[in-house]
């Protein structure tokens, strides 16, 4: 038995799965949990089903539970986890339904998910094993013991970039974790090796040295150099560059100095040259793209200032409007190029979708945004833009559906949740559902009286 996809489901199980999907669409999450549990008993390797099960259980239970404490010490797991550990050792496949029964009560439990990880590991189901600990990472990122375990798992499976990201999450909660500091550096270096396809005998110490130097430069940047000091550094590096224009370290340093001097044109040129010398370092390509964007933003800003200073000059106004159109077309072309270079990156898909939306090509934006939803870290922003895209096409009910999906994963009332709720309120208002609109605005009103015009909207509704 192995991990499977929806296409691999047995015909006798598919009707249950379809019922579960319908239950999710109608927000009957408790019923969906029971149905998916039944599906997984017949198809335990169905990872997408397990992902949906966790999401539904999270909606039922209200999300990650805060750990109880006794005399300042966290409780949790206990005898239940120990009993499951014994079951996992005896028969990991048979233990899966028992583990899921416990996770139904607390889907983000670090201890129970750890037992799920061990069961999947014993079965050789690597993607499912990673998912178990990724659940802990999303629900309890402060439980760094389990995040260390996840990072080590990624390292053993040659996924250094993912391991580095996990170590960075650990350092957000414990900046003094020396193992995470070293692990993040090593994994970043290894990821560079893997990207450039260097051999096993590559000198990781030299890569570590580069990482250390980069960190030192970043620290210097944070402490801040005066403009005179930066210009002095620029002149020193320029002299060094004149001696050897193919020295990657010098070119990168020079690009960084020009960036800090906000000389976007020079920074762009040197980052592009560094990318050419680096044998395709994606980080440098990203820097070059960022500098190109900064340069175009500066040009647009200068035109807008000129238009503001000459409000009666039709030529300047026409030039600005023409440049805006050109900029939108350039943004679409550039985003398309980046997607063509890396078609599996959901973030690039999101950027292309946003560029198409800004250009008014809403139909073309939809499939790009739908693909961008694969990245859970940007899913809320993607769904917000997707909702606006459907709104622009006059498909208001579908726009509301996207926003409701976004709200399922937004717990705290942060800026994104406020934006989603506000947009949802506007959509309901446009659909004529005044009560639903006010309910959305009220959620914002309760925590942020001054947000946009929600106070006026909510308070005026009491006089209607």
Q: Which of 395, 407, 405, 406 is nearest to 366 (CA)?
A: 395
Torsion sign, CA atoms 410, 412, 414, 418: positive
* pLDDT of amino acid 196: 54
- Residue 58 and residue 24: Cα distance in Å, rounded? 12
* pLDDT of amino acid 72: 39
Tokens encoding 375: 């990245």
Radius of gyration of the chain (CA): 26
- Residue 345 and residue 454: Cα distance in Å, rounded? 36
Helix intervals (H) in 310-411: 314-341, 346-358, 362-372, 379-392, 396-408
Helix intervals (H) in 197-278: 204-223, 227-243, 248-260, 264-277
Which fold, 6-64+78-213?
1.25.40
- The whole-number mean pLDDT for each consecutive block of 10 residues of the chain, a chain of 464 residues, reads 83 90 88 93 92 92 66 44 80 91 91 92 91 92 92 89 90 85 84 56 49 47 66 89 89 90 88 86 82 80 77 78 81 88 87 92 94 84 94 94 89 86 94 94 92 92 74
How do the domains of the chain map onto residue ranges?
6-64+78-213
Q: What is the pTM of this model?
A: 0.46
* pLDDT of amino acid 68: 46
Torsion sign, CA atoms 162, 168, 169, 170: positive
């Amino acid at each position: 038995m192995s991990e499977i996809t929806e296409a691999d489901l047995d015909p006798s199980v598919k009707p249950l799965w379809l019922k579960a999907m319908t239950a999710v669409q109608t927000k009957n999450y408790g019923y969906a949990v029971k149905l998916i549990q039944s599906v997984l008993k017949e198809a335990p390797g169905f990872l997408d089903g397990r992902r949906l099960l966790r999401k539904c259980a999270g909606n039922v239970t209200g999300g990650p539970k805060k750990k109880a404490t006794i005399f300042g010490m966290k409780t949790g797991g206990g005898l239940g986890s120990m009993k499951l550990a014994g079951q996992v050792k005896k028969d990991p496949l048979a233990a899966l339904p028992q583990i899921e029964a416990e996770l139904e009560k607390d889907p983000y439990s670090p201890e129970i998910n750890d037992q799920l990880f061990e069961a999947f590991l014993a079965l050789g189901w690597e993607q499912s094993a990673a998912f178990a600990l990724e659940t802990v990472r999303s629900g309890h990122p402060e439980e760094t013991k389990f995040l260390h375990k996840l990072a080590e798992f990624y390292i053993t499976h040659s996924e250094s970039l993912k391991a580095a990201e996990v170590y960075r999450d650990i350092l957000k909660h414990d900046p003094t974790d020396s193992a995470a500091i070293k692990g993040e550096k090593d994994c970043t270096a290894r990821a560079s090796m893997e990207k450039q396809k260097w051999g096993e005998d590559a000198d990781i110490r030299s890569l570590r040295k580069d990482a250390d130097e980069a960190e030192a430069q970043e620290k210097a940047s944070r402490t801040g150099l005066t403009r005179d000091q930066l210009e002095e550094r620029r002149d020193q590096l320029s002299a060094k560059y004149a001696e050897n224009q193919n020295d990657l370290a010098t070119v990168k340093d020079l690009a960084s100095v020009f960036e800090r001097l906000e000389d976007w044109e020079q920074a762009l040129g040197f980052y592009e040259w560094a990318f050419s010398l680096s044998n395709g370092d994606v980080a440098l390509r990203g820097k070059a793209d960022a500098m190109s964007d900064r340069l175009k933003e500066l040009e647009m800003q200068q035109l807008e200032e000129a238009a503001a200073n000459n409000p009666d000059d039709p030529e300047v106004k026409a030039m600005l409007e023409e440049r805006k159109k050109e900029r939108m077309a350039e943004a679409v072309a550039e985003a398309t190029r980046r997607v063509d270079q890396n078609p599996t990156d959901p973030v690039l898909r999101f950027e292309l979708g946003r560029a198409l939306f800004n250009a008014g090509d809403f139909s073309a934006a939809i499939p790009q945004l739908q693909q961008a939803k694969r990245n859970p870290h940007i899913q809320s922003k993607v769904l917000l833009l997707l909702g606006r895209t459907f709104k622009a096409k006059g498909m208001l009910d579908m726009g509301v559906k996207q926003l409701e999906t976004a709200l399922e994963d937004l717990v705290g009332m942060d800026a994104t949740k406020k934006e989603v709720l506000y947009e949802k309120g506007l959509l309901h208002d446009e659909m004529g559902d005044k009560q639903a609109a006010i309910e959305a605005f009220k959620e914002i009103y309760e925590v942020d009286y001054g947000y946009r015009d929600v106070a006026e909207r909510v308070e005026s509704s009491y006089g209607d």
